[in-house]
Structure 1
């Protein structure tokens, strides 16, 4: 027999543990030693070692000479395979080509993952930016325009559940560090339909972001435009915001969210 009815469809602990390892290392670009990784996923070192050893043999992880575990090369084709079938990314590419908005600026697409956003597509602009937006980059959602626009789609209770411990990662002195400030930003985002990152992710950078919805009106991701703050006056901010809202609305329509 291949399995009893009582066990069919139940999560497999070892597979879940492997997923926790991959998720944890996705947020640690420099990798982690076994002891820290085991502590992060709440598993004994022996169990964590067994999972990591298996993942290394499959190419999903790599072990550095210093003993740190990092994501391996095999995650790249897996990510590309997902993006190749992602309606969000595909429709953005089509709409971006058709409308031709903001050709001078960098536009980034992201997904919400817990307290973070993960960048899944970047369309470079003609203007050079000091910050590099690489696919797979993870940043605290409350610091980014796209992250705040996605958090705004959640209920207040859902947001409180994610930040109930009161911990806020900070990237710059302008990053949000308290729940009342975050909720004020969320309310402003809900009222206007877009969010702003004013040097909260990187010094000298300003971003405007808006969420994109799919069928049933559920958010599938967000897009944002990144600009050097010193080049942004009221007129440029207005034009950029209008363009991002136009793009997000067009993609939402294509995905059946309106």
Structure 2
């Protein structure tokens, strides 16, 4: 079981005190948390050094929240907007093809699924809302990895051999790089039984107002329903769905 770091918990406790107070002094923080003043002083100095707290002008022993917390909150709010917009579009795409539709974002070398709309067909899938999977094993992940700049991709692939989920998973970094070149060129990605041997997926990019790829949408179906005709139709639907979400996020082609 990973160990919880007490100093981090105390620092977060300090930040949460500001939820109902715009300003607090070092003494007030120590009293509210029942901590030694020396401990509070060290934590406050650290938070100020990272600008999570800033001294009140003219009152150096009083503090208020800093800009990084606003940035984090804005990023979280943006993620909520993405989920809200993607959920409705995913339902429309799922209704059109009667297959599962998912939306995911990149987190390091993994994807995290934010949205899943199930098919009416009974099917068991490894992906689901909140689930984390290796990005290189999924269609959504390949789209997201293909959008990284060279330094970002190097960081993801820095540890060498990649974990596989099925015998079809791409585990060689050089092979993956070449594969991502094709994904980038075609602006579409396929999971050919690489995360679940019985399932195939096709994914397209969701972009924000800056043109950055912030998420990916996929249609997933069992191999038994994956025909060339179905693939062509699902590719069209997922492209249109991703483009619709992108437009709602402010993207203009």
TM-score range, shorter chain: 0.5 to 0.7
Report the counterpart of residue 236 of structure 1 in structure 2.
230
- d(CA) in 1 for partners of 2:51, 2:164: 35
Q: Say yes or no: does 1:198 pair with 2:238.
A: no
Report the counterpart of residue 145 of structure 2 in structure 1.
151
- d(CA) in 2 for partners of 1:142, 1:85: 22
Q: Say yes or no: does 1:131 pair with 2:105.
A: no
- d(CA) in 2 for partners of 1:6, 1:224: 43
Moved more, 2-11 or 223-232: 2-11
- d(CA) in 2 for partners of 1:99, 1:109: 12
Q: Say yes or no: does 1:90 pair with 2:130.
A: no
Q: TM-score, normalised by structure 1?
A: 0.67
The answer (yes or no) to whether the contact 1:102–1:240 under 8 Å persists in 2 is no
Aligned length: 189
The answer (yes or no) to whether the contact 2:144–2:205 under 8 Å persists in 1 is yes
The alpha-carbon distance between structure 1 residues 236 and 158, as it changes in their structure 2 partners (threshold 3 A), is same
- d(CA) in 2 for partners of 1:84, 1:147: 20
Residue correspondence of structure 1 range 1-258 to structure 2 within 5 A: 1-2=25-26, 8-10=48-50, 86-96=80-90, 102-258=96-252
The alpha-carbon distance between structure 1 residues 218 and 9, as it changes in their structure 2 partners (threshold 3 A), is farther
RMSD (CA atoms): 2.4
Alignment partner of 1:196: what SS? strand
The alpha-carbon distance between structure 1 residues 209 and 100, as it changes in their structure 2 partners (threshold 3 A), is closer
Unaligned runs of 5+ in 2: 1-24, 27-40, 53-75
- d(CA) in 1 for partners of 2:124, 2:165: 15
The answer (yes or no) to whether the contact 1:83–1:120 under 8 Å persists in 2 is no
The answer (yes or no) to whether the contact 2:111–2:132 under 8 Å persists in 1 is yes
Instruction: Summarize deviations over 1:11-49 as a string: whole Å, max 9, x none.
Output: 89xxxxxxxxxxxxxxxxxxxxxxxxxxxxxxxxxxxxx
CA positional deviation for 1:83: 8.6
The answer (yes or no) to whether the contact 2:114–2:130 under 8 Å persists in 1 is yes
The answer (yes or no) to whether the contact 2:90–2:117 under 8 Å persists in 1 is no
The answer (yes or no) to whether the contact 2:217–2:242 under 8 Å persists in 1 is yes
Bigger Rg over Cα: 2
- d(CA) in 2 for partners of 1:183, 1:99: 30
The alpha-carbon distance between structure 1 residues 10 and 132, as it changes in their structure 2 partners (threshold 3 A), is same
- d(CA) in 2 for partners of 1:100, 1:173: 28
- d(CA) in 2 for partners of 1:224, 1:98: 13
Instruction: Summarize deviations over 1:58-98 as a string: whole Å, max 9, x none.
Output: xxxxxxxxxxxxxxxxxxxxxxxx69971111112333456
The answer (yes or no) to whether the contact 1:209–1:244 under 8 Å persists in 2 is yes
Q: TM-score, normalised by structure 2?
A: 0.68
Unaligned runs of 5+ in 1: 13-81
Alignment partner of 2:210: what SS? helix
